[in-house]
Structure 1
Amino acid sequence: MQPSFYADDSPGLENFAPTVSKLGLSIADAKYMENCSSNSSINSKHLNYSFKIKYQKRKDAPVYEWTINRCIQEFQDLHQNLLKEMQKGNLASVPRLPNIENFSKEPLEEQLERLEAYLKDLSQQRDTISNPKFWEFFEVSSLSFEGVKQKWKEGYVFKRTGGQIGNERRIFNCAKYCKRLQKRWMIIRNDMVGYLKSNTKSSLNEVLMFKGRFEVLYGEKDTGYEDGVKIITLRRTFIFRAGSPLKRDEWVKAIVTAYNESEWNRSEQRFDSSFPLREQNEVTWYVDGKMYFNEVCEYLKRAKREVFISDWWLSPDLYLKRPAKKYEKSKVVELLGMLADRGVSVFVHVYKEVTFALTLNSMYTKTTLLQRNPNIKVIRHPHRSVVGGEFLWSHHEKIVCIDQEIAFMGGLDLCYGRYDTNKHPLVDHEHIFNGIDYSNARISDFYEVQNWNRDLINREINPRMPWHDVALRVIGKSAADIGLHFIELWNHVMTDITTGYHKNKNLLQPAHSPTINERGKESDSESASSCSSEGEEETKKPVIVLREKKLSLAVETFKEIAENRRASHRRSSFNVNGKRINVEFLNQRMEMNSELNPGTAVAVDKKEALKRMKTTENDKRNSLLQNQDIDNEKPTVLKRRSTVHNIDFEFQRKQREKIEMADEEKLMKEIEDGQIEGDENFSKMLLLPKIKELGQTGTCDCQLLRSAGLWSLGLEETEHSIHTAYLNLIDQADHFIYIENQFFISSTAGETVKNQIAQALVERIKIAADKKEPFKVIVVLPLLPGFEGAVDDSSASVLRVQLHWEYQTICRGQNSIYEQLRRDPNISDPADYIRFYGLRAHAVLGDRPVTEIVYVHSKLMIVDDDIVLMGSANINDRSQLGNHDSEIAMIVTDKTKIQSTLAGKPRAVSQFAYTLRTSIFKEHLGVESEELLRDPLSDQFTNEWISTAARNTNLYRELFRCYPDDYITSIAEIPDFENEAHPEKYNEFKDVIRGFLVEFPLDFLKFEDLRIPIFTKEYVIPDDSFV
């Protein structure tokens, strides 16, 4: 028995009984008109007859209106097809169609009236209106009225195979040289163009979103066909034949009109992001894993339609709530299985690891979830095979998106080792951390994770390593954007053909969802998903366009980027045939041809039309460095902050004005299809984006940012909006920047590293020093990289090389942050402006005191207690360049303000940013006084922060002699240093240690060469992999 999750292909549309009214006539054949005198009679076979169609499914449903243009031959074809159906016994009768010979002699107005009567007669026959040929004539499909309030043009076209940039650029495949045409039903919707196999199918095969690059070319010169249309996006070059030059022009006009009414055309994208600024989101922050996992669990239970999860590592046996015995149903595999049992569509994407380097066992994740319920759809990526694939980089996003309305994101994967409380316990008296979740990666990395209910380390001897992290939950349009990102990611993976092509796949699509305002009316039966099988071999189908940009190493270019972006998104035009077409004129041109009065001859003349087109210069390429040329360029950063246009302020002001005028009722997401990996079971799954009217109840402005490229999302050019946002926000900071990150590797380490975040900090500090402005940067990092082994082990090459690049970035080498600042005549001590810290905890295990670092895994920046940047991206090239690891982040600014103080002056700050920072600082310092923390530049706070870190550092040195420590400048000094510990003094001084804050030891191993030795196996790995 087939599960209810699936549904057979069927028309899915209720009996289609439209209302028909005549509009006018137009010339269907331009060549005929060129040879026709103004006084000659017009043959009906050269005319197009236009009709307005109205349709309403139910009394309480929207009324849809659209126009169709048909020639007499199309009427005859429809009539003949219906007669065949009648002969088969499928139709009882067919109305009489006027005889063509007599019909052509009648006045034009009478011709139009007789055809109108014919269509009205057809529309009143119950057996006719459910016929696919009847639908085709009226440009109707099973998806025409699903989740939309406006009907756009539809119809059969012949699309050319191939054209997916990600596949054609990354691998050799003979299919890209062997093109063929396939008949497909094309559909235009509010924010995209897509197609189905036929108008009775319920699964879209592809979507080309208006979001990002979207160019339309037409005609024989650009497409190879007189009736051809070419659509170019960042991910796809899509060519189709319309059937005639007139039909071609109809499609071009319809696409242009839809594009200009799309919200993506109206929006501007700061920082070169693929996503616009979204207002009125409800956002909640989480510090450490306990509350985050608890709420992920609770919100997952409420899912109604679909759940999207993307993780670097997902542990199916992880309990989201603790203790496990009390919350057995919070186990990830059981929770997702329960959702699938009740018909919720569950889609899980996980990073497919290189097995000789990582022990994540993503195959175990996949098989465990599928064994629980086969309707949980799981894909792993990237593929690796002889024809292509990615070996160095990973999918690093951490996303849980529920019904495309609620989303969780940040630094926390749903995996072992991440659950923790703000107490950061080293021991587990209450058995909160079951099995391998009691972990310490510095002692033993995870292995054989399928045997999860055993101990990796001896709980009686070894403390666990606490985990500090931050994440957020967003409700609103930004949550829908996260869902849209997941759909782009999922559908790219489905179309990645590095493992070959497979037939007989199931096309899966989540059902359309109601608007958020209609949620209460939705029944459980309406949330079921559907799929359709497709037997013939299809072309690999790319999907979803993203905004392209290359890595900017110069902050000076940001103003130019913004200006170019605004110029490329004028409402009235977009690129057609390499020119900027004036849409108003194109509309007039089409209207002239569709509203011809009887006795008037008007021909569609492409040459004449082109003469009247208003054009502008082609969009200039951003002056950004090509990724492949970065090594040869000397990066430049702002020389003076005052010379840079305040993009953030100007954009928010203009965006608010636009949003007030814009129609924000819909958010269209995209669709893709394709295949999944290698020698595993294949099923072709298509994610259908939802069209929503998301409620606006929150107070936060949010914008989604990404690192994405060719291998990770199939993009022609790389998106690195996270990096761009970091540089902008640092430059625009007034007085204070707080950073927490798992890594801190940037271009100040040397030519190998390309991201400019550290250099941006240096330049901003120099400006503050020059202007005598109060300015402070606090950076909190893990004291040691989270790799197994002691720092002096021969097998710890990777651990040491990570330290090498971090110290080169911060304080070692002529170009490091501290060395550049020391050379500035306005700065006597770099520590007056920027300081680095770590976290450490202590406890008694058995009868002996123990200590361990608190591993900082956050990816967070807070600027002036006003703006928060949070996500999955580390400060290194892997996360920032865009064409390496794939990442996601979000900028949050809360319009709810709190009266506070910054740099000694009263200031209204963001409630979201302020409460997040003070909560983190309370944890790090072990204090409860918010007044102490109010102004991070005050003398009172500065003294408390510095003295706490120094006192804790000295006490850990005295009691434990633990490393890293400034007293250890070479590996040879480690044994003698450790022998001087005084654990017997622990009870005397343990209560003096407060919070977790300690100094980051800038002199640790400063006399050691921490680079990878030449004769080790890691030496052959490119430096890019470590930075």
Structure 2
Amino acid sequence: MDFHSLLRKAKHGLEDLLTDETHSHTHDDAQCHDQDIHAETSANRYGSFAPRSTGHAKWYVDGASYFWAVSMALEEARESIYILDWWLSPELYLRRPPARNERYRLDNLLKAAAERGVRVNVIVYKEVEAALTLNSQHTKHALEALHPNIKVFRHPDHRPSGVSLVSGLQDLHSGLMNFSLKTFDLARASEDALKNLYGTADDIVLYWAHHEKLCLIDGNVAFMGGLDMCFGRWDTNSHPIADAHPGNMDDIIFPGQDYNNARVYDFEDVDKWENNKLDRTKSSRMGWSDIAISLSGPVVNNLAEHFVQRWNFIFNKKYNAQNPGKYQLLEAPPAHYQHAPQPLLQGGGEFFEGLHDRFSRHMHGFFGGEEGGSHRQTAAAHIQLTRSCCQWSLGVKTEHSIANAYIEAIKNAKHFVYIENQFFITATSDEQRPVTNKIGAAIVDRIIRAYQYGEDFQVIVIMPAVPAFAGDLKSDGALGTRAIMEFQYNSINRGGHSIIETLRNAGIEDPHRYINFYNLRNYDRINTGGAMGRAEHESGVRYEDARREYDERYQGSDYHGRGDSQYRRYQEAASRLTDPTWDSVAACYMDSGPDLRTIPWTGPLEAELDAFVSEQLYIHSKVLIADDQLVICGSANLNDRSQRGDHDSEIAVVIEDPTPVDSYMGGRPYTASAFATSLRRQLYRKHLGLLAHQRPDVPDRNWTPITHDPVNDYDWGSPADRLVRDPMDHQFISLWRDTARRNTEIFSRAFHPVPDDKVRTWEDYDQFFSKHFVIPGEPAEQAQEGYKQGKVDYGHVVRDEFPGGVEEVKEWLSGVRGNLVEMPLQFLIDVEDLARDGLALNTLTDELYT
């Protein structure tokens, strides 16, 4: 089929723009009835290729604990390591700080495994270089150079036509070298240009990505979820965003390009450590909030089957002919777990009604109630693997079992649904094309049912304030970000068919009684106090120059050391100094943390005011929790790209753990699932600041693989736990909403971040944001003129708001608890089109952004 035929199909409103299928790929009910499209998967629940299975699951909130656990498992590997990633950085440190953990750099761990005979097979997404900075070629060459036992596949191949590409882009730029999709210029590209840029295979334009994250070791333990093993993902529960250590550079946590804030500068040439343009004495990093799990038991066999299927599909399509003899097909590993899955009743709700009766009577005495034990899993959880895949990604008929699982979980929920996701683009009806996934319709239907029957029911959605990374949302480079935001707002509360509008049209006057949306944000203080200046003076070396040599030592691949290095000279000078100034104040908004007003600072007070920084805490999680009983966790975002099946490839597991926990729901006694409720409570406590500050080098049993410690340690019945145990309790709801509102007010005054509800028009935007900040990337003359006008660097405190100086700033910021803030649903609501004003988004870019 030629491309113009595809465009004619799009104009006629066919749902499957880029293939010959006309199947909708999401359904109002959870099951698919088109046997021609899904014949090979229709026998299993959700239409998955994998049947319901069993196993044990362990959660990890944020990257520090997860990557530590992965490092332990990699050290113990004896037979095989299978890795699927969207992006993999060989230079990633799985333990921190790097100066004390060279052994735990990913490439060093994989090399050591290969040298002891372990077969390492890696599959990464092969990106369009003009669009993304992943540099999968570097990943492949760096890893395969370590040892012959390491094999790396990249997929898919993009074969653009150079002549057509240049021709298609002539209207955008004077030359191809200036064209970059990294700044979302594709919003202005022609359809022919996009097709030629991405290339085709089997009559499919390869706009879509392999987005799965999986590490499978010895066929025995699996790690999966939202975390790629790449730069920018490692973080602790406290999310410090300052990383200047003038007293000892070896305390740096985020080396080289791993110290990143894509709202200031995106990743650039990731194979070169020196291309980190972020000055960490002036700019914060952007924190990374994420969730992952480890699994053991029979479900690991399903994950191994999926990996082998992916590997062999790519081998047969590409590497058998491209490198004859270098790579081999994989055989499905022997099943390590032979016992059959335990039977499940159809539907999660029915299963857990039975759980109440079966376990509450017989095990309450064993556990001693909620406060009496650690709730060890006494039986395997029911776990099912689901995925999004199709012909281009796996050589199979389209499977969208993740979307089906989401819809069924929402429909079956009796009390609440909690969603953390990087995106929220969904439809309530066919009127919202090009968006086709109907997760939004399932949410609307469930809330209307609660309204009609007088039920207490809550949906909480946590998502990034800015779904991509633009710092200045008004800039041309932010067109793509604004396009995504427009689709998200049209899913939530605008455009005529959004969730909130549909609920109001159904007679629900206050939809926020049932559904609310939140973001995350935090602050920190960069240690540019007196010690940095004194060490620079005594050593004759600027801190940033010494730090860049530190980066060469720990991120570079060819560092051999120097005798009279800037790094050594600075370190020697710093070692002779004493300074009580803290390198980060992230502990201040966590549980039992110190009062910000008491944290010492040496140096000018004006410098301390300028040292405070704030940034959105980027949410990358892909998790749904229903009723404290069911969890869906994996790589899939809540948008068409992840949910349709024929776009990005994804994996996720549905976990129903029968281990009971005596709890409460809406003030009444309730039996919850240990896995689901402990994960939900951990997340709520982190967002509310009810967890203790987490150091990067103090692991506990929650930092180990499931094969070491089979369940998470959780402080059941502690004072902080009691505050979040009942998600439907009125006191908890007040705590949640009041914390979000107060944090929002504090950040809004101190840092004027956008989005903000005060900003309803572009004129508001200029007054609230543009007039106060020098934006990264501005021409030098323009930036200097901005400083003369009293502007400050992006992300810093707006001085005009605090006539009392830094003491007033600290008094104000000391009220922050955790990182929960309200999502500004009124942001630019009076602007008719966020992205389309003066811009002609075409049908293809619509598809890419949804």
Correspondence for 2:347: 647
Normalised TM-score (structure 2)? 0.67
Matches within 5 A, 1:421-436: 421-428=236-243, 429=245, 430-436=251-257
Matched, 1:354 2:140: no
Correspondence for 1:373: 147
**How far off is 1:920 after superposition?**
0.6
Which secondary structure state, in structure 2, belongs to the residue aligned with residue 873 of structure 1? coil
Matched, 1:948 2:711: no
Task: Mark the CA change 1:995 to 1:651 in structure 2 (over 3 Å): closer, same or farther.
Answer: closer
Matches within 5 A, 1:720-799: 720-748=400-428, 750-799=432-481
Letter in 2 for 1:708: C
Which secondary structure state, in structure 2, belongs to the residue aligned with residue 484 of structure 1? helix
Matched, 1:269 2:44: yes
Deviations 1:464-515 (A, max 9, x none): 0000000100011112211111111111111225x99458435636689777
1-structure distance, mates of 2:126, 2:222: 23
2-structure distance, mates of 1:282, 1:484: 18
Letter in 1 for 2:83: I
2-structure distance, mates of 1:793, 1:744: 23
Q: Which has the higher contact order (CA 8 A, sep 6+)?
A: 2
Deviations 1:179-228 (A, max 9, x none): xxxxxxxxxxxxxxxxxxxxxxxxxxxxxxxxx99x9xxxxxxxxxxxxx
1-structure distance, mates of 2:288, 2:314: 31
Unaligned ranges ≥5, structure 2: 1-17, 21-31, 161-199, 246-250, 339-343, 356-376, 529-607, 692-719, 773-797
Task: Mark the CA change 1:317 to 1:958 in structure 2 (over 3 Å): closer, same or farther.
Answer: same
Correspondence for 1:699: 380
Which secondary structure state, in structure 2, belongs to the residue aligned with residue 385 of structure 1? coil
Correspondence for 1:854: 617
2-structure distance, mates of 1:761, 1:388: 36
The question of whether the paired residues in 2 share the 8 Å contact of 1:646 and 1:732 is answered with: no
Correspondence for 2:819: 996
Higher strand share: 1
Letter in 2 for 1:283: A
Question: Greater Rg, structure 1 or structure 2?
Answer: 1
Matched, 1:1023 2:846: yes
2-structure distance, mates of 1:950, 1:500: 58
Correspondence for 1:448: 269
Task: Mark the CA change 1:1016 to 1:374 in structure 2 (over 3 Å): closer, same or farther.
Answer: farther
Correspondence for 1:418: 233
Deviations 1:272-309 (A, max 9, x none): 11111112x12100101000000001101111111100
1-structure distance, mates of 2:813, 2:471: 27
Task: Mark the CA change 1:1013 to 1:830 in structure 2 (over 3 Å): closer, same or farther.
Answer: closer
2-structure distance, mates of 1:937, 1:371: 55
Matches within 5 A, 1:620-1019: 647-648=347-348, 699-715=380-396, 717-748=397-428, 750-825=432-507, 827-845=508-526, 846=528, 847=608, 848=610, 849-927=612-690, 929-978=720-769, 979=772, 982-983=801-802, 984=805, 985-1013=808-836
Normalised TM-score (structure 1)? 0.56
Moved more, 1000-1009 or 342-351: 1000-1009
Task: Mark the CA change 1:744 to 1:345 in structure 2 (over 3 Å): closer, same or farther.
Answer: same
Which secondary structure state, in structure 2, belongs to the residue aligned with residue 322 of structure 1? coil
The question of whether the paired residues in 1 share the 8 Å contact of 2:349 and 2:412 is answered with: no
Matches within 5 A, 1:540-579: none
The question of whether the paired residues in 1 share the 8 Å contact of 2:417 and 2:626 is answered with: yes
2-structure distance, mates of 1:500, 1:308: 19
2-structure distance, mates of 1:973, 1:507: 58
The question of whether the paired residues in 2 share the 8 Å contact of 1:310 and 1:350 is answered with: yes
1-structure distance, mates of 2:80, 2:37: 28
**How far off is 1:732 after superposition?**
0.3
Correspondence for 2:11: none
Which secondary structure state, in structure 1, belongs to the residue aligned with residue 328 of structure 2? strand
**How far off is 1:649 after superposition?**
5.5
**How far off is 1:455 after superposition?**
2.9
Unaligned ranges ≥5, structure 1: 1-168, 172-211, 216-231, 237-263, 519-565, 567-644, 656-695
Letter in 2 for 1:988: E
**How far off is 1:795 after superposition?**
1.6
1-structure distance, mates of 2:300, 2:729: 37
Deviations 1:806-840 (A, max 9, x none): 00000002211111111222x22011000000000
Which secondary structure state, in structure 2, belongs to the residue aligned with residue 738 of structure 1? strand
1-structure distance, mates of 2:312, 2:839: 40
The question of whether the paired residues in 2 share the 8 Å contact of 1:838 and 1:999 is answered with: yes
Which secondary structure state, in structure 2, belongs to the residue aligned with residue 384 of structure 1? coil
Task: Mark the CA change 1:697 to 1:730 in structure 2 (over 3 Å): closer, same or farther.
Answer: same
Correspondence for 1:472: 293
Which secondary structure state, in structure 2, belongs to the residue aligned with residue 992 of structure 1? coil
2-structure distance, mates of 1:511, 1:381: 20
Matched, 1:298 2:72: yes
The question of whether the paired residues in 2 share the 8 Å contact of 1:839 and 1:998 is answered with: yes
Letter in 1 for 2:658: K
2-structure distance, mates of 1:393, 1:513: 29
The question of whether the paired residues in 2 share the 8 Å contact of 1:354 and 1:391 is answered with: no
Correspondence for 1:627: none
Task: Mark the CA change 1:234 to 1:829 in structure 2 (over 3 Å): closer, same or farther.
Answer: closer
Task: Mark the CA change 1:821 to 1:505 in structure 2 (over 3 Å): closer, same or farther.
Answer: same
Letter in 2 for 1:761: I
Task: Mark the CA change 1:775 to 1:650 in structure 2 (over 3 Å): closer, same or farther.
Answer: closer
Which secondary structure state, in structure 1, belongs to the residue aligned with residue 654 of structure 2? strand
**How far off is 1:789 after superposition?**
3.7
2-structure distance, mates of 1:511, 1:829: 56
Letter in 2 for 1:369: L
Match of 2:317 among 485, 496, 503: 496
**How far off is 1:452 after superposition?**
2.4
1-structure distance, mates of 2:141, 2:264: 29
Deviations 1:508-551 (A, max 9, x none): 36689777599xxxxxxxxxxxxxxxxxxxxxxxxxxxxxxxxx
Deviations 1:130-169 (A, max 9, x none): xxxxxxxxxxxxxxxxxxxxxxxxxxxxxxxxxxxxxxx9
**How far off is 1:794 after superposition?**
1.5
**How far off is 1:936 after superposition?**
0.7
1-structure distance, mates of 2:62, 2:45: 30
Matched, 1:388 2:201: yes
2-structure distance, mates of 1:318, 1:972: 43
Which secondary structure state, in structure 2, belongs to the residue aligned with residue 836 of structure 1? strand
2-structure distance, mates of 1:770, 1:412: 40
2-structure distance, mates of 1:344, 1:233: 39
Letter in 2 for 1:768: A
1-structure distance, mates of 2:453, 2:337: 52
Figure out how many residues of one structure are paired with residues of the other and give that number.
604
Correspondence for 2:605: none
Which secondary structure state, in structure 1, belongs to the residue aligned with residue 123 of structure 2? strand
Higher helix share: 2
Deviations 1:666-712 (A, max 9, x none): xxxxxxxxxxxxxxxxxxxxxxxxxxxxxx98531111010010100
Correspondence for 2:91: 317
Task: Mark the CA change 1:1016 to 1:444 in structure 2 (over 3 Å): closer, same or farther.
Answer: farther
